[in-house]
Structure 1
Amino acid sequence: MSFKVTVEPSGHEFTPGADEAILDAALNNGLAFPYGCRNGACGACKCKKLSGDYDYGENEPMAITPDEQADGIILTCQAIPRSDMVLEVKEITSNKEIEVKNVPCRVESLDKLSHDVIRMILKMPDADEMQFLPGQYIDILLEDGRRRAFSIANAPRNDSRIELHIRHVEGGDYTGYIFNEMKEKEIIRIEGPHGTFFLREDNERPIVLMGGGTGFAPLKGILEHCFDSSNSRPVHLFWGVRAKEDLYMNDVAEKWANEYAFLTFTSVLSEPKAEDNWEGKTGFVHEAVAETYPDLSGHDVYMSGPPAMIHAAKDTFVAKGLSLDNLFSDSFDFANDK
């Protein structure tokens, strides 16, 4: 039997599956509940039960005192609803509310998505899943002290694994190593999450997502979060690359646009090849956005990709009425590996 959980003061509602912990169900429904270890030991997920019944199944609540339990405090990572419940939870709305971690992780898989893009899946330690907001990034920490930043390409519900899209930079030492030498099961150290580029969910404005190249990665994470959270805001994804071969997950984006009524997808080629037989949009991706939306005054715009694209788009979009308060960007500046 399933029971509804209502969250105050946000008014969010979700229904956990049979014997599913409240925290797991909240994350699966796109809600940003606070948490840490997810095994009842740290207490970061504590919240107040306003009404309803629950139990901890076969688990012993370690990070909670009898006095706290008497006051209605529960651990959402362990508590299982046994009736409809109302909880008072301070949901996370800012990157400042999330702990930045420095942890080792294992390279679980390396999949070549195109001639110059690899998808890397990192498996987090069981006791150190990384909480993050959709769109943030992590740093890979190199042995010589250098850092390499990569956007997280999956939704927060998949916090035991981090998905990265890595483009091979010509002459780049580390990206060359990833493409030519790195093996699965290798252990690397990462730090994160970082960044203020994440989805704002405090309004109902339509959303424009614009990515250039592997700037698609954080937008993928944002979209997957929208799918989890029953998003009702219109979303238009624009993805700009040079040629058709650079649309390394085009089939995925097209599938999403067919499945979700709120999502529109437009791909744009700046230098299509003759063999592409391209009949879609051409030119610069920010110009395609401006052509489609001559008035951006009522929109939120998220853009990620090369610095030149970000700078050109900013001026163009402001001229189309976009408020700088509603413009969020992630500029992919390449570190000097050479």
Structure 2
Amino acid sequence: MTFNVTVQPSGHQFSCDEDESVLAAALRAGVGLPYGCKNGACGSCRGKLLEGTMEHGPHQVKALSAADEERGFALFCCARPKSDVVIEVREVAGAGEFPIKKMPTRVAKLDRVADDVIVMSLQLPANERLQYKAGQYLEFLLKDGKRRSYSMANAPHLDEHLTLHIRHMPGGLFTDHVFNAMKEREILRIEGPLGTFFLREDSDKPIILLASGTGFAPIKAIIEHAAHQGSQRPMVLYWGGRRPKDLYMHALCEEWARTLPNFRYVPVISNAQPEDGWSGRDGFVHQAVMADIPDMAGYQVYACGAPVMVDAAKRDFVSACKLPDEEFYADAFTSEADLANPA
């Protein structure tokens, strides 16, 4: 059976099969609902059910609690309609601008930039190009049917290769292979571009960029894109790690701070050891932002990294720093461990 979905306030409509998620149907119809992980973990696709009935599949409690569901909230990546429905969600302009493709890629280079981080460069087939917005991600299509998501770490105009920042998750099937067995020239299959984490260019508000660990990857692409576009918007990057070595492209960020107008860089370390010789900012990275910018009413925030950091930043920025809820854009890096603990 097929049901009709109406999106408010835009009035857009699309059909959705009863065994299909609302998000999957929207993507198929080219309707730009916000989303991130597509697995009920990050909460990016959350909205309200105004009319009709839905049934949710497994999902994280932090993304949608039972109380939230009773109040009419829904996660469209794992919600399936049981009738015609009317939903309320803020659509993302430009989300469906580029077609989602599946294609083979060849591993062109593996560059270990930290003990637990590899920069992987991917070569696309001849005469093929993956068009995407800086900040979006792709998925590797593994032979067992599973998928692994990684953000493109280079801006779209730098399209000789796609680059990804891969952090080793010990025991992780894919990253164990990347760090222990993968060779250059290996063939992988990808699908992309995916996600709605990208720069909103219809605003002139100053930008706070917030990253932890390899959450730096899509932030790096956004900075490169803004520089290429000649953006005059003030931008400040706060990049957090446990130890200084976790900021694996620290020198590049310092170079941007020297050469890009209106750009500042604030590295923050939470667990420096005496042998690190760290004399910079310490503590939690989102709290460093709050200390420097206590009033965020006129800002946009783009946050990427561990879910605990992203969740804390959104909560505290909105509640304590006057950041408008709709000006917080995020991509929480959910792992298989996160997805293995549904509600």
Fold match by TM threshold 0.5: yes
Task: Structure 1: state its 5+ residue gaps.
Answer: 1-91
2:236 alignment partner, SS class:
strand
Letter in 1 for 2:101: K
Q: Where does residue 238 of structure 2 map in the other structure?
A: 238
Deviations 1:21-58 (A, max 9, x none): xxxxxxxxxxxxxxxxxxxxxxxxxxxxxxxxxxxxxx
- Unpaired runs of 5+ residues, structure 2, are 1-91
Mapped partners of 1:256, 1:335: distance in 2: 34
Give per-residue Cα distances to partners, 1:257-306, cap 9 Å, x unaligned: 10112110000001001111111110100000111110000001000000
Q: Distance in 2 between matches of 1:177 and 1:156?
A: 27
In structure 1, what is the Cα distance between the partners aligned to 2:230 and 2:311? Answer: 32
Percent of residue pairs identical: 45
Aligned counterparts of 2:251 and 2:93: Cα–Cα separation in 1: 32
- Deviations 1:40-81, CA, capped at 9 Å, x for gaps: xxxxxxxxxxxxxxxxxxxxxxxxxxxxxxxxxxxxxxxxxx
2:335 is aligned to 334
Which residue is equivalent to 2:273?
Answer: 273
CA positional deviation for 1:158: 2.2
Q: Hey, what does 1:198 align to over in structure 2?
A: 198
Cα distance in 2 for partners of 1:274, 1:321 equals: 37
2:125 match: 125
* Alpha-carbon offset, residue 93 of structure 1: 5.2
Quote the Cα distance in structure 1 between the aligned partners of 2:170 and 2:106.
Answer: 26
- For each residue in 1:174-214, what CA deviation from the matched residue of structure 2 results, as whole angstroms up to 9, or x when unmatched? 10100010000111000000001001100100000000000
CA distance in 2, matches of 1:113, 1:93: 35
Alignment RMSD: 1.4
- Corresponding pairs, count: 247
Q: Output the CA distance in 2 between the equivalents of 1:126 and 1:208.
A: 38
Where in structure 2 are the equivalents of 1:223-262 lying within 5 Å?
223-262=223-262
Query: 2:178 maps to which residue?
Result: 178
Counterpart amino acid of 2:220?
K
Measure the CA separation in 2 of the matches of 1:126 and 1:307: 37
Preserved contact between residue 206 and residue 300 of structure 1 (Cα < 8 Å): yes
Counterparts of residues 252-331 of structure 1 (less than 5 Å):
252-319=252-319, 320-331=321-332
How far residue 309 of structure 1 moved from its aligned partner, in angstroms, is 0.4
Partner in structure 2 of residue 153 of structure 1: 153
- Alignment of structure 1 residues 91-170 onto 2, 5 Å: 94-170=94-170
| One-letter identity of the residue aligned with 1:156 | P
1:223-252 deviations in Å (ceiling 9; x for gaps): 000110001000000000000111100001
The equivalent of 1:12 in structure 2 is: none
The one-letter amino acid of 2:323's match is: L
Q: Which amino acid aligns with 2:277?
A: N
SS at match of 1:128: coil
In 2, the alpha carbon distance for the partners of 1:301 and 1:253 equals 18
Counterpart amino acid of 1:321? K
Give me the whole-angstrom Cα distance separating, in 2, the residues matched to 1:192 and 1:126: 17
Using the alignment, how far apart are the partners of 1:133 and 1:245 within structure 2? 29
Amino acid at match of 2:142: L
CA distance in 1, matches of 2:249, 2:278: 17
Cα distance, 1:96 vs structure 2: 1.1
Once structures 1 and 2 are overlaid, which stretch shifts more, 284-293 or 120-129?
A: 120-129
Code of the residue aligned with 1:212 in structure 2: it is S
Amino acid aligned to 1:177: H
Report the CA distance between 1:159 and its aligned residue. Answer: 3.0
Normalising by the residue count of structure 1, what TM-score does the alignment of the two structures yield? Answer: 0.71
CA contact (8 A) 1:237 1:264 kept: yes
Q: How does 1:80-95 map to 2 (within 5 A)?
A: 94-95=94-95
Contact in 2 for aligned 1:125/1:160 (Cα 8 Å): no
Q: Report the structure number with the largest CA radius of gyration.
A: 1
Q: For 1:189 and 1:95, locate their aligned partners in 2 and report how far apart those are by CA, in whole Å.
A: 22
Q: 1:131-162 CA deviation, whole Å, 9 max, x = no partner?
A: 00010000011011000000110001123421
Task: Name the SS for the 2:114 alignment partner.
Answer: coil
Paired residues of 1:130 and 1:160 also in contact (CA < 8 A): no
Question: Residue type of the partner of 2:330?
Answer: S
